[in-house]
Structure formats: structure tokens, C-alpha cells
Amino acid sequence: IVQGSSFSFIPPIMTIIAAYGASGPSVVMQHVSGALILGGIILSIIGYSRIVGVIRKLISPVVIGPTIMAIGFSMAPVAIQANASKYWPISLIVVVGVFFFSLVSRNKYFNIFAVLASISIAYLVALGGTLIGFFPSGHAAYIDLSSVVQAPWFRFTGIMPWGAPKFDIISFGAIIAGFFAVMIESIGDYHSCSYVAGLPDPTPSMINRGIGAEGLNCAIAGTLGAVATTSYTENIGLIGLTGVASRWVVRTGAILLILMSFVGKIGALIATIPSPVIGGAYIALFGIIGTLGIQVLLRADMSSQRNVLIVGFAFLMALGLPGWVEGAKDSFFSIGIIGQVLWAILKTPMAVAGICAAFWDNIIPGTLKERGLSAQ
């Protein structure tokens, strides 16, 4: 299985930005790094101590569904207001491209690279508009390639490139919500990967080692100034499409990615992607993530009034409570450390959804079939 950056960590990092953004990007990244190191170590302990099996008994599709839905749908303002709305024509090129390449086209390679192809086309349109002067400097779709020219071919950022990691209770409380979500996601990914590879379901020991390794890798990412990583669902789909499930292939790909990370011009080129292009990709991807949560819910009996009430309550609270909590920051902080932790957790939509759903799902009586656990 492959680890990659996860959308699950965007809401927690937005919380960290809200708390420390005034101090500058480097300070924010120092807090992110510290949170990832601590959170990764805890996730690793959870895995290697073999208590994942105990946690799984408390987590049903009724809990997983609204948690994943909150990850995708709560990011709508970031996708539309902060990015796509800056220049809709470019954003819509990405959205239309994703629909065409993934659903209309019958070419399997287009299906595999639907998002990448759509982003590339929109980027080339923006670049062409920039070169002919249609998009002047300062326009949302303007692309400045000077940073690519100035970037070195070889670059190694080293250990702690943003400075020494900062450890604080707010960042830690926020990032724990992200780790809670990705642990749920990873357990499902392990089963999906085994299924598409034609293997039996992973044993509890395999799941424990996988979660432990993911936590360890997140801690390493924090020391290198990178973002949090988790099992990458998209690559499991590639196994099904290509029929290639060899670990040697995955390891070769990992080595290639590591080598590419040392090429400074590649990173500089990616950084030139204009916000409307990113917004178009967000619209497609965040919607898909939210819908994946609905798919998970289908494993439970959604004709049950019990489940309908729990899911509806959890999802509504996830969309409404964080905004109120953010506005009441001073009140929470006046309580002390406990208030700071509560603020960080309750400001994160997916944490609110998971906590609310898990509380009621484990309190209100329900059969295993009703909760979607009979298949397990």
C-alpha cells in the first residue's frame, strides 16, 4: 500500500492556521511539524500495542460515514470561495475534464489519469493566456514562471527546514482529530487492497502493523517539514485497473518519488498552479470524498430510524458547530488547557461528526446488522 497526503488533515491544519497564522507561515509549519510528530508517535503506539481491534468495536459504518462526509462537504468554502470563484472559466475546465475523462471516455488511461489530465489542460490554457497577455500580472489565472527558472535543479530541504518543531496543546488537539479519521480510513483501505489483490482479508496483526507504520512515517514527515500522510485510496484503484499488486513495483515507485523530490524545479513548477485550477480540482475531489461517506453508510441499514437520526444529527453538528466554536475562541481559552483542547477539536468538522456519531451509536441499542457490522 502507498502512503500519501490526505484531505483528512486539511481541517485540522486550518485550525492551526487560525490559531497561529498571524505569526507567519514558518511558525504555522513549526506547529504543524510538532503536532505531526506527537500525533504520529501516538498513532504508532496505538498500532504496535495491538489495541486497534478494541477501537474497531466502537466504530461502525454509522460512525465512519458522517465522518468522511464531513471531511469532503465541509471543505466547500475552500473549494469555491477561496479558489474556484477567483476565475470560474478555468475552474470549470477542470470540473468538465474530470467528468469527461472519468465517466464519458472509454479509454482506461484517461480514466486512471482523469484528474491529472484535467489539471494539465487547465494549466496549459492558463499558461497560454498568460503568454499572449490575456491574463495580466495579478490576474488569478496568471502564471509566473520566474520561480521555476530561479529554482535549482537539486534541492534538499534537510531536517526541520521550518525551524525547531513547536509543541502545543491546540495543534495537538486538532491533529488528533485528523489521525482519528485517517485510522478509520486506513483500516478500510487495508481490506480493499487485499480484496483487489486477490488475497484474504488482512489479519488483526497486519492491521496493527500497518497503523503503527503509518504513525511512524507521519512522525518522520513532521521532522522533515512535510505534511501528514496516510494510506492512499487512489492507488488501490490502480491495482484493480492494472492488475499489478507487486510490492516490488510499489517500492520502485517510492524510490522514483523520493528522487523526484530532490529536483527543485519540479516543486517550483507545481507551486505555479493558479488557484482557479486548484479550485476546480477541489470541487471534483471534495465532492467525491463526501460521497464516499454516503457509500460507507449504505453498509448500515439506513431504513432504520435509529441510524437516520444519528447520522443526521452528527452531520448537522459537523456543519454548524465548528463555526460557533471558532467565534467563541476567547470563552474556550479562558477555561485553560482543557478549553484550548476542546476548541481545537470542536472546531474540526470531522471530529464533531465522529464524536457525535460514535457517542449515540454506542449508547442507543442496535443490532449488528442495523449498525452495518454483521459483514465484519
Can you spell out the DSSP letters for 201-220? PPPHHHHHHHHHHHHHHHHH
Residue with cell 463555526: 323
Q: How much is the pLDDT for 374?
A: 65
* pLDDT tops 90 at residue 139: yes
Residue 299: C-alpha distances to residues 126, 294, 370, 371 (Å):
43, 9, 9, 8
Whether the predicted pLDDT of 376 surpasses 60: no
Q: Whole-number mean pLDDT of the chain? A: 86
Q: What is the mean pLDDT of residues 66-80?
A: 85
Cell numbers at 328, concatenated: 467563541
Q: What is the pLDDT of residue 291?
A: 82
317 with 149: CB under 8 angstroms?
no
Strand partners, 3: 231
The yes-or-no verdict on residue 140 having pLDDT over 90 is yes
Percent of the chain with pLDDT over 70: 96
Residue 375 has pLDDT above 60, yes or no: no
Using alpha carbons, list the distances in angstroms from residue 44 to 37, 210, 334: 10, 9, 33
pTM: 0.76
Evaluate if residue 185 carries a pLDDT over 50: yes
Model confidence band, residue 237 (pLDDT cutoffs 50, 70, 90): low
**Rounded average pLDDT over 261-290:** 88
Residues 6+ apart with CB under 8 A from 251: none
